[in-house]
Chain A
Amino acid sequence: MTSKRDIIFKEFDFSKKPELKTDLLHTIQYAIKSAISQRDPVMQWIWQPSINAIDDMCAAAEDPTDVVLIGFNLAPEMIYAMGLKPVCPEGLSFLCPTEYLIPYIDESHKAFIPDHLCSFLSGSIGMAISNAIPKPVAIVHTSQPCDNSIAQSTALADFYGVEPYIIDSPYYDNDEAYDYFAVQIKEGFRYLEQMTGKKLDIDRFREVMARSQRAHELVHEINELKKRKPCPIPTGAILRQLSIGMYGQTGSEHLVRWLEKHLEDARERAHKGIGGQHEEKIRTAWIYAWPSFEWTIYEWLGKKYGAIPVIFQASEYFYTPKSSGDFDDLCRSLAIRILSCPMGRSSRGHLDYFVRDSAYWCKEWSIDAAIFAGHLQCKANWSVAQITKEVLMDELGVPMLSFVVDALDPRVTSTEQMLGYIEPFLEMVAENKELEKIG
C-alpha cells in the first residue's frame, strides 16, 4: 500500500515486547532532538515548543524539589507565578514517541486502569507507576475537561500520596462562573504556599500574566493571517507545536519568543501570498483530535490532495487574558483564560460550545472540509459529533468526516486505516469543489 502512495509511513512492530525505559524523560528528549535535527535546518524552529517542553521536564526531574503536577487543562501560569516547576504528565504522553509510550499505556492497564481511559492519561499513569515522572510536592488539577482527567487526578494523587488541590470547573461560561473559579485560584496559591514553603511573588505573577496575554495576542494575530488564501503557515505540524506551547508553556518567555517568530513567518508568507510547501486546494479543519503517531500523513494529504490543515480546534483560542495587575483581577483573568482553553471549554460545558465553535472556525476561516478524528476514549466529544456534522452541513454546507482513532496509539486505527477514511472523503470534497466551479 505504501509504495502505491509514493511515501513511506512509519511501521510499528507490536510483536516485540517493548520495554519501560529507565530514564524515560531523557529518552524522549533525545528522540525529539534527533528527529528535529533531521529536518531542514531552515524549518527546525517550528518544533521548538516540543524541545522547550521536554527540556523543562528534564530540568524538573533533575531537581524535583519544586515539582508540581498539573492537569493539562490547568494553565501553568499559576505554577510559574510561584516560581515552581510545572510537570504535566499527559503532556509527556503527547511528546512521547509512540514506540516508547505504548508500554506505559499497557502498564496502566495491568494496574486496573481501564482500557477506555484516555490514552494521554493512562499513558501518564503508566509513567507515574513506573517511576518515570518525578514525585511532586503538590498536585493541582481542575475538574475539566472530562471524566478521564478526574479519574487520572484521583489515581495520581493516591499513587503519590499527595493531597491534591482541586479547582472545580463550572459548567457555564459567565461572570458568576469566572468568580467561582477565581476564588479557587486564590485558595490554590495558599495551597501551593503551604505545600512548598514558597511565597507568591505578586510581581512575578504580573509578569507571567503579561507574557500569557502577549502569547494570546500573538495567537490571535496569527489566526487572522490564517484566514488568507493560501493559509500562510509553513506546515500543519506548526499547529501541533502551537498546541504544545499554549497548553503547557503560557506565561513563559520562550513561548512568546516562538510565537513572535511564528507570526513573523506568517506575515512574510502572507505578504508574498504563499502558503506551505503544497498548493492549497482544500482547506481543512481538524475539529477534534489530531492523530500524532504518524505526522507524515499530513504531508501526504497536502501533497496528494492539496489538503491543508488550517484549524486544529483543540488549540484554537478565543480569549486574551487582560488584567489591571491587581491580585484579584489577575486571578479572575487567569480563571477566564483557563476556562476558555479550547478543550476545557468545549468538553466540560454544554455541547453547544463544541458545535458553535466548530461552526465559527469553519465559517470564518473558509473551511472546505471538517475532519472529526474522534479520540476513542473521549466520551464528551464523541457525543457531539453527529450534531456538529448536521450543523456544519445545514448551516455552512461543510461536510464532516468522523472516524474512530486513538490519537496516540496506532493499534486502534492504523495510518493505513485512517487514510482509508480520509482519502475517499477528500476525493469527494475535491469533486464537489470542481462541480461548484462548473456551476
Chain B
Amino acid sequence: MEVLDQLEALASENPNSAAKAWKDDGKKIVGYWCSYVPQELMHAAHVFPYRIRGTGARSTGRADVYMAAVCNCTYPRAALELALDGTYDFIDGMVGANECDHGRRAYEIWVEKKGIPFHHFLFVPHKIDDSVLAEFQKELLKFKVHLENRFHTFITDDALFKSIRLYNENRRLLKTLQEGMKKEQPLMKGSELNTVIVAGVCTPPEQYNQLLKQLLEDLRHRKPMDRPRARLMIYGWIGDNSGFHRLVEDVGGLVVADNCCYGTRDFWEPVETDGDPLKGIARSYLYRPTCARMMGELNSRLAYAKNMIQEFAVDGVLITRHQFCDIHGSEAFSLKRHENEMGVPFSAPLIQEYLGEDAGRLKTRIEAFIEQIESN
C-alpha cells in the first residue's frame, strides 16, 4: 500500500521528507522529548513539533562521553548522539521535560554541550490532582509565552482550539485504526500500526491527517491478516520503532494492543474542546492514561491494561522495557503481582537495547511465551 510506504518513510527517516519540505519553506521546527509536551501549543505557534528520537543512530560513542553507558538507556543516548553529530541541526528549538532521568539529562547535556537557539524545559507533575493541575496549567502558560516571544507570534484561543481539533482528529483516526485490531483477523499488522503511530510524531498534523484518512480508505480493500498464534499486548517501553512488533510477528504472534508511549496512551482520549483551552490541554494531558512515571497511579494503569486485554481479546501481555529504565522496569514487580487478576499470562520482563543488537534473544523469549500461552 502506497500510503503505508509513505508513513513508513516518514517514521524511519530522520530528518524525514516532511521536515525537509517544512524547512525548504523557511518555517521553524521545534523538537520535543516527551509525549507529555502538548504538540498543540507548538502547532498553534506555527512551528512543526517534531519528536526527538534516536532514529538513524548507529552508535552512541559521542553521547557516551557525557551519559555513562553503564547505566543510561540507549534511546536518549542515541538521540544525543544525533545532536552531537549534527543530524539534528535542522531543528530550531527543543522542549525538554522531566519525563525520566535519562531523557531529562540528555536534553540538558544537549543544551550545555551543543547549544540550540531556543530551548524550553516543561515541568510535568508526577502526580494527578487538582492542585497540580493548576501548576501544570501555569507551566503551559510559561511555555506558550516563551513560544510567542521566540517565534514572534501570538497564540490566540482560536488558534489553539483549531490545533486541538486537528490533533483530536488525528487521535480519532488513530483510535479507529487501533480498534481495527479488535477483529479476529485484523487488516493491519501490529508493526504497521506502530509505524503509523510513530510517523504521527514527526509529520505535520495536516499532512498526517490526510495520510490517515487515505490509509483507512485503502484498508477497506485489504485482505485480512492470517489468524495469529497469539494476540498480544505490549506493556512498557519499546522506543520509537516497530522492531519489537516485528519480532513478535516473526514467531507468529500479533500485537493488538499496548500500554506504551508510542502507542495508545497518546491518542486514546481527546483533548477537551470547551472552556479555557490551556486548562483543557493541561487536564487532558495529565488525566489521560498514564505513563509509569506518574506516582500513585498504578491502579489506573492496571485498569487501563485490563480494559485493553478484554476489549482486544488479548491472549497474553509482553512486559518490556529498555535496559536501565527504572520506572517501567519496576512496574514489572506490580504487574506480576496482579497477573492473576488480569485473566491472561504476563511474560517475565523482556529487556531491549534501543539499537537492537539483541533481537535473536528476544525472539526466542517471545516464542517461548507464545508456546506457554498455547500450552494453556
Interface residues of A (CB under 8 A from B): 108, 111-114, 116-118, 125, 141, 143, 146-148, 150-155, 157-159, 163-164, 166, 168-172, 176, 180, 183-184, 187, 347-348, 350-351, 374, 376-380, 382-387, 404
B108 at the interface (CB under 8 A from A): yes
**A168 engages B127 (CB within 8 Å):** yes
B329 nearest CB neighbor, chain A only: A114
Tell me which residues across on chain B come within 8 A of A386, comparing CB atoms. Answer: 65-66
**A116 engages B323 (CB within 8 Å):** yes
Q: Which of A150, A351, A376, A383 contacts B295 (CB 8 A)?
A: A150
> How far apart sit A85 and B126, CA to CA, in the bound complex (Å)?
26
Interface centre among A152, A168, A183 (most CB of B within 10 A): A168
B348 at the interface (CB under 8 A from A): yes
24 inter-chain pairs at a CB distance below 8 angstroms, sorted by A residue, are A112-B332, A116-B71, A116-B324, A147-B100, A147-B327, A150-B295, A154-B298, A158-B333, A168-B125, A168-B126, A168-B135, A171-B121, A172-B123, A176-B138, A180-B135, A183-B131, A184-B131, A351-B105, A376-B71, A379-B73, A382-B67, A382-B68, A383-B72, A404-B70
> How far apart sit A112 and B329, CA to CA, in the bound complex (Å)?
8
B374 at the interface (CB under 8 A from A): no
B330 nearest CB neighbor, chain A only: A151
How far apart are B328's CB and chain A's nearest CB, in angstroms?
Answer: 9
Tell me which residues across on chain A come within 8 A of B70, comparing CB atoms. Answer: 376, 382, 404
B336 at the interface (CB under 8 A from A): yes
Given contacts A379-B101, A387-B112, contact A114 B67 (CB under 8 A): no
How far apart are B178's CB and chain A's nearest CB, in angstroms?
Answer: 27
Tell me which residues across on chain A come within 8 A of B105, comparing CB atoms. Answer: 351, 379-380, 383-384
B223 at the interface (CB under 8 A from A): no
Which B residues between 219 and 272 are near A, CB-CB below 8 angstroms? Answer: none
> How far apart sit A184 and B109, CA to CA, in the bound complex (Å)?
31
B360 at the interface (CB under 8 A from A): no
Q: Which of B67, B292, B335 contacts A383 (CB 8 A)?
A: B67
> How far apart sit A155 and B337, CA to CA, in the bound complex (Å)?
10
**A374 engages B68 (CB within 8 Å):** yes
Q: Which of A147, A157, A170, A387 contacts B109 (CB 8 A)?
A: A387
Given contacts A166-B126, A168-B125, contact A150 B293 (CB under 8 A): yes
Tell me which residues across on chain A come within 8 A of B336, comparing CB atoms. Answer: 111-112
B100 nearest CB neighbor, chain A only: A147
**B349 engages A147 (CB within 8 Å):** no
Looking at chain B's contact residues, is the secondary structure mostly helix, strand, loop, or mixed?
A: helix
**A141 engages B295 (CB within 8 Å):** yes
Known: A147-B101, A168-B132. 15 other contacts (CB 8 A): A111-B337, A113-B333, A114-B330, A116-B71, A125-B333, A143-B295, A151-B329, A155-B334, A164-B295, A166-B296, A351-B112, A380-B105, A383-B67, A383-B68, A383-B109
B129 nearest CB neighbor, chain A only: A187
How far apart are B351's CB and chain A's nearest CB, in angstroms?
Answer: 8
**A154 engages B109 (CB within 8 Å):** no
- What 4 A-B pairs are tightest by C-beta distance, nearest first? A151-B330, A114-B329, A383-B105, A143-B126
Tell me which residues across on chain B come within 8 A of A113, comparing CB atoms. Answer: 329-330, 332-333
Given contacts A150-B293, A378-B71, A379-B105, contact A112 B131 (CB under 8 A): no
Contact digits for B65-90, partner A, Cβ 8 Å, 1 yes 0 no? 11110111100000000000000000
Tell me which residues across on chain B come within 8 A of A163, comparing CB atoms. Answer: 296
Given contacts A377-B71, A384-B105, contact A147 B296 (CB under 8 A): no
**B330 engages A154 (CB within 8 Å):** yes
B112 nearest CB neighbor, chain A only: A387
Which B residues between 275 and 300 are near A, CB-CB below 8 angstroms? Answer: 292-293, 295-296, 298
Given contacts A147-B100, A376-B70, contact A157 B348 (CB under 8 A): no
A348 nearest CB neighbor, chain B only: B98
B144 at the interface (CB under 8 A from A): no
**B123 engages A112 (CB within 8 Å):** no
B102 at the interface (CB under 8 A from A): yes
> How far apart sit A158 and B349, CA to CA, in the bound complex (Å)?
18
Which B residues between 299 and 348 are near A, CB-CB below 8 angstroms? Answer: 321, 323-327, 329-337, 348
Given contacts A157-B298, A171-B121, contact A152 B330 (CB under 8 A): yes
B127 nearest CB neighbor, chain A only: A166
> How far apart sit A187 and B132, CA to CA, in the bound complex (Å)?
12
Q: Which of A111, A147, A347, A385 contacts B326 (CB 8 A)?
A: A147
> How far apart sit A332 and B282, CA to CA, in the bound complex (Å)?
26
How far apart are A63's CB and chain B's nearest CB, in angstroms?
Answer: 28
Given contacts A147-B100, A377-B71, contact A170 B123 (CB under 8 A): yes
> How far apart sit A112 and B332, CA to CA, in the bound complex (Å)?
6
How far apart are B63's CB and chain A's nearest CB, in angstroms?
Answer: 10
> How far apart sit A176 and B136, CA to CA, in the bound complex (Å)?
12
B122 nearest CB neighbor, chain A only: A171
Interface centre among A111, A351, A376, A378 (most CB of B within 10 A): A351
Contact digits for B38-72, partner A, Cβ 8 Å, 1 yes 0 no? 00000000000000000000000000011110111
Given contacts A143-B295, A187-B131, A351-B105, contact A383 B66 (CB under 8 A): yes
Tell me which residues across on chain A come within 8 A of B126, comparing CB atoms. Answer: 143, 150, 166, 168-169
**A155 engages B72 (CB within 8 Å):** no
Given contacts A376-B71, A384-B105, contact A155 B295 (CB under 8 A): no
**B66 engages A158 (CB within 8 Å):** no
Tell me which residues across on chain B come within 8 A of A172, comparing CB atoms. Answer: 123
Tell me which residues across on chain A come within 8 A of B121, comparing CB atoms. Answer: 171, 350
> How far apart sit A171 and B91, CA to CA, in the bound complex (Å)?
25
Tell me which residues across on chain A come within 8 A of B349, comparing CB atoms. Answer: 112, 114
Tell me which residues across on chain B come within 8 A of A347, comparing CB atoms. Answer: 101
A143 nearest CB neighbor, chain B only: B126
Tell me which residues across on chain B come within 8 A of A350, comparing CB atoms. Answer: 108, 121
Tell me which residues across on chain B come within 8 A of A111, comparing CB atoms. Answer: 333, 336-337
**B326 engages A117 (CB within 8 Å):** yes
Interface centre among A164, A169, A180 (most CB of B within 10 A): A180
Tell me which residues across on chain A come within 8 A of B123, comparing CB atoms. Answer: 170-172
Tell me which residues across on chain A come within 8 A of B100, comparing CB atoms. Answer: 147
**A379 engages B127 (CB within 8 Å):** no
